[in-house]
């Protein structure tokens, strides 16, 4: 399996670029945010729990997120690989992911990190609010909280993959196509 973590702050373009990557490399896109939103829509117990955290721009607790991720991955039989989008978001999640993938005889090949300035992120998220209907995009103080949580809890995950020589930074400013080609070029060097 060829597994990638697509990393970056909220609004960096992970979801958009994931769609391009799964088409080109025939991978499964696994976005923890999307899975939580599906659960909210279907009013599951997991959805009810996740909603309170998401609406405040906080992280859903690790145990809940890790359990959910494991059960999502095992839904697929013999995939070519996964693009993990929005996961891992803490060092504990990164460690749990390694242990879990090792139990499946596979691993993360690389982390591609989209780099975007904070001003650009805020602008993108506020614009997205007009079409996404996401409550966590509609409010500037929730957006600021998500960025703060990212800087405090998620940005350190970068070092976890840097230590393993798996980290690649990608300039996330430019047209969608330009960024896609930067991602393709990095993947093609490893695949």
Cβ-based nearer residue to ligand ADP, 152 or 185:
152
Interaction between residue 89 and ligand ADP (CB under 6 A): yes
14, 42, 45, 124 from 48: Cα distances, Å: 25, 10, 5, 27
The contact pattern for ligand ADP, residues 126-165, with x = CB under 6 A and - = no contact, is ----------x---------x-------------------
Q: Which of 37, 51, 146, 182 is catalytic?
A: 146
Select from 18-26, 50-58, 96-104, 172-180 the region that touches ligand ADP (CB under 6 A): 50-58
DSSP 8-state assignment for residue 58: P
Interaction between residue 51 and ligand ADP (CB under 6 A): no
Interaction between residue 10 and ligand ADP (CB under 6 A): yes
| Sheet with strand 28-31: strands edge to edge | 28-31, 82-85, 3-7, 108-115, 167-171
- The set of residues, in sequence order, having a beta carbon less than 8 Å from that of 128 and lying 6+ positions away, is 11, 134, 137
Select from 19-27, 29-37, 94-102, 181-189 the region that touches ligand ADP (CB under 6 A): 29-37
Interaction between residue 17 and ligand ADP (CB under 6 A): no
Closest contact distance (angstroms) between CB of 93 and ligand ADP is: 6
Contact yes or no for 19/180 (Cβ under 8 A): no
13, 25, 150, 173, 180 from 159: Cα distances, Å: 21, 26, 14, 22, 24
Interaction between residue 36 and ligand ADP (CB under 6 A): yes
128 is catalytic: yes
The whole-angstrom separation of Cα 9 and Cα 15 is: 12
Interaction between residue 97 and ligand ADP (CB under 6 A): no
Q: Active-site positions?
A: 14, 89, 128, 134, 146
């Amino acid at each position: 399996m060829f597994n990638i973590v697509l990393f970056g702050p909220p609004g960096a373009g992970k979801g958009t670029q994931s769609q391009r990557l799964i088409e080109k490399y025939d991978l499964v896109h696994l976005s923890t945010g999307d899975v939580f939103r599906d659960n909210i829509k279907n009013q599951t117990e997991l959805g009810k729990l996740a909603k309170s955290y998401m609406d405040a721009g906080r992280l859903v607790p690790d145990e809940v997120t890790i359990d959910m991720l494991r059960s999502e991955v095992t839904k697929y039989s013999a995939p070519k690989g996964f693009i993990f989008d929005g996961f891992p978001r803490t060092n504990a999640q990164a460690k749990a992911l390694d242990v879990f993938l090792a139990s499946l005889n596979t691993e993360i090949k690389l982390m591609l990190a989209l780099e975007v300035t904070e001003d650009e992120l805020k602008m993108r998220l506020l614009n997205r609010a007009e079409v996404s209907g996401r409550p966590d995009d509609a409010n500037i103080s929730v957006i600021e909280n998500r960025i703060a949580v990212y800087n405090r809890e998620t940005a350190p995950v970068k070092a976890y993959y840097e230590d393993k020589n798996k980290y690649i930074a990608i300039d996330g400013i430019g047209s969608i196509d330009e960024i896609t080609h930067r991602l393709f070029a990095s993947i093609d060097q490893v695949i």
